[in-house]
Structure 1
């Protein structure tokens, strides 16, 4: 079924290119909504939403922005305006997908606005910056970056082919939405996932609760068992790799209402946040489930390690520490007892603020695959300091469950799942 594709960009410099993709999209039977972010001069084609309206959404005046001659300030204002407008327009159902074209400044503005939209909304960005470090543009959202190969500065046989492909890509994504169930305003009843539709278009089975879980290589056996147990009991499980971006992606989707509960087995990103590793998820990790008030079971998976790149990337101050070469590009460092205590303290701040049922489950015989007797990170004293600090810093209303098992033992996985079911049942 036809949809509406929002075209977002600087029409004062790239108007002809936007006119080309607009016609390519319309030729496929879709509508367009053309929004101008230009700050240098008048648009080369007439937009549906002029730049003055975008500036106004940021509390700015376009003429004044242009007269100041400060391009950086003007770009920042237009970015703020776009970030305010896009989520409001999407909530009103005014568009189904977004396409942008740009260089450095345009890519920064457009992808910032794209990141305000929920995961699942089609987002395609054709950019001269797509062949370098793309993390600042994508972050943890499902933005499709397409390298422009040539600069977006005029139409020629090569640029027409690339822009035509981009138009086809966004149309295909929007058409795919038309073949799926319409998205509800509450993310499929806040964490319930429907089973595949039958021939009649109705679902064959009732909706299943959707649960988020976190995993690392060294906690894979545990999370694999947990997932199997939860799925057998009637839930669906989405697993996030606890690599910093994975934790942030999960937190964002929890805030967006995608999950009925959380099985946060692997909280290792806190070690990188506290000690200075490369896989931190930031200081707000562990906060989203508490804000939403959904059941969360938290454990201490892989809190025995801080992550760095290759061995030559480990900071000099850590050279004398217990280091483990996981592979050529990943070096792990064992956390000390003092570091474990600080990690537990910071985690407790967020868990104590939770508005929903919360429990922490402790594996007394080790927190990762390499924290077991005979393994390189086995350190009972550091683990004991961690466990004691968890208990010391958590409020009484946060349940703490001790399990005499290693994190990857089947008994520990069973304890996690039993705890989750108890919390979820009590919330009903």
Structure 2
């Protein structure tokens, strides 16, 4: 029997959370009601009061509520709930978490859920689940469950939604954990235009006894990988597709933000870096490309993806950015550069071939970087380059 935390604003949505708790108990598990409301009195009795939640960060909730600033109250609870819930999880008191809410409740509860480890069961029933869920899910594995109707009482629709959501969280806590293969983890980044390289490097690492987790370098993928690296679960990093920095610099749609290429350095992990797909910036349909890029070289990857070739000056700046990030690495790191192209479409004869731009990036990186930089007279997807990357990471992992 597991204990599942049921988090909610029990002043406005007490009835709904009480029903979730009832469904959980019918499935044979315990429910722990946690109040994160800050309006009127809770309509059902919580097991953990809003004041206990606020105390986790030293907030005087009573004084805060007297100001009648809902936004400030929500922000305070969104900061406190992760602290208390993490304590409950680390102490073994709860084995899963579920919540239901609108905008405010979703913001508070998903903040708490994002603080929990990957794999920990977490379900959010929300009015926000049908739109952009990125601010609520982040790089976590929160399961967003559409509420269909507003979380505003029990009715013929909401009863079914809540009962199925409760069944989902119960099923998650009942599922046996996967058998751990016991192999150390390596994380890698990949894009369609570096697939051949990463696939071959992955094969070499797996033959050497590592498990390789591949992340798509599409913004969310890079952020998720950085989060996993920061969690302490990873032994090494094969960051061969650093393209997200091109989008961050130039203004594309697949940026991973300004902290990309930082987690491995902070963690001191053995790392191999390559300029995979730094010859391209991602946009959507052709009509979405900003007018300022008129006259530049484009490749229409598919109806929804338009690629912009990075210029000489942009490439030079990217080399400098990579150098700055990698200079801060605390652990062993090596940069491998394929002189004959950074992507499948950037190699000789490809639509994005631009030797001057590639040279500008490599020269800037070499001149600014104080770490090991190795050049290869190969394209990035050449099997020999892929094997060189994998073997260099194995060497760093061994401490050679």
TM > 0.5? yes
- In 1, the alpha carbon distance for the partners of 2:66 and 2:399 equals 61
Q: What's the CA shift string for 1:274-313, capped at 9, x where partnerless?
A: 1111111111111111111111000000000111111111
Q: Is residue 212–residue 239 contact of structure 1 (8 Å, CA) maintained in 2?
A: yes
2:394 counterpart of 1:421: yes
- In 2, the alpha carbon distance for the partners of 1:252 and 1:32 equals 30
Q: Secondary structure, in 3 states, of the residue corresponding to 1:35?
A: strand
Q: What's 2:373 paired with?
A: 400
- In 1, the alpha carbon distance for the partners of 2:345 and 2:178 equals 43
Q: What's 1:146 paired with?
A: 145
Q: Secondary structure, in 3 states, of the residue corresponding to 2:12?
A: helix
2:293 counterpart of 1:338: no
Q: What's the CA shift string for 1:51-97, capped at 9, x where partnerless?
A: 11222223322221221111111111111111222223222222111
Q: What's 1:49 paired with?
A: 48
Q: What's 1:189 paired with?
A: none
Q: Between Structure 1 and Structure 2, how many residues are aligned?
A: 400
Q: Secondary structure, in 3 states, of the residue corresponding to 2:334?
A: strand
Q: Is residue 292–residue 356 contact of structure 1 (8 Å, CA) maintained in 2?
A: yes
Q: What's 2:234 paired with?
A: 259
- In 1, the alpha carbon distance for the partners of 2:319 and 2:93 equals 45
- In 1, the alpha carbon distance for the partners of 2:155 and 2:110 equals 25
Unaligned stretches of 5+ in structure 2? none
Q: What's 2:97 paired with?
A: 98
Map 1:208-227; keep pairs closer than 5 Å.
208-227=183-202
Could you tell me the TM-score, scaled by structure 1's length? 0.91
Q: Which runs of 4+ in 1 moved over 6 A?
A: none
Q: Is residue 319–residue 360 contact of structure 2 (8 Å, CA) maintained in 1?
A: no
Could you tell me the TM-score, scaled by structure 2's length? 0.97
Q: Secondary structure, in 3 states, of the residue corresponding to 2:32?
A: strand
Q: What's 1:364 paired with?
A: 339
Q: What's the CA shift string for 1:236-295, capped at 9, x where partnerless?
A: 110000001000000000000121101001000000111111111111111111111111
CA RMSD of aligned residues (A): 1.2
- In 2, the alpha carbon distance for the partners of 1:158 and 1:310 equals 38
- In 1, the alpha carbon distance for the partners of 2:38 and 2:398 equals 55
Which of residues 386, 395, 402 in structure 1 aligns to 2:361?
A: 386
Give the C-alpha shift of residue 325 in structure 1. 0.9
Q: Is residue 403–residue 415 contact of structure 1 (8 Å, CA) maintained in 2?
A: no
Give the C-alpha shift of residue 179 in structure 1. 4.5
Q: What's the CA shift string for 1:314-350, capped at 9, x where partnerless?
A: 1111122111111111111111111112112122222
Q: What's 1:134 paired with?
A: 133
2:159 counterpart of 1:160: yes
- In 1, the alpha carbon distance for the partners of 2:24 and 2:217 equals 38
Q: Is residue 276–residue 343 contact of structure 2 (8 Å, CA) maintained in 1?
A: yes
Q: Is 164-173 or 31-40 further displaced after alignment?
A: 31-40
Q: Is residue 123–residue 142 contact of structure 1 (8 Å, CA) maintained in 2?
A: yes
Q: Secondary structure, in 3 states, of the residue corresponding to 1:94?
A: coil
Q: What's 2:65 paired with?
A: 66
Give the C-alpha shift of residue 157 in structure 1. 2.5
Q: Secondary structure, in 3 states, of the residue corresponding to 1:246?
A: helix
Q: Is residue 247–residue 254 contact of structure 2 (8 Å, CA) maintained in 1?
A: yes
2:299 counterpart of 1:300: no
Give the C-alpha shift of residue 180 in structure 1. 4.2
Q: Is residue 58–residue 78 contact of structure 1 (8 Å, CA) maintained in 2?
A: no
Q: Secondary structure, in 3 states, of the residue corresponding to 1:226?
A: helix
Q: Is residue 269–residue 279 contact of structure 1 (8 Å, CA) maintained in 2?
A: yes
- In 2, the alpha carbon distance for the partners of 1:70 and 1:406 equals 58
Q: Is residue 247–residue 281 contact of structure 2 (8 Å, CA) maintained in 1?
A: yes
Q: What's 1:322 paired with?
A: 297
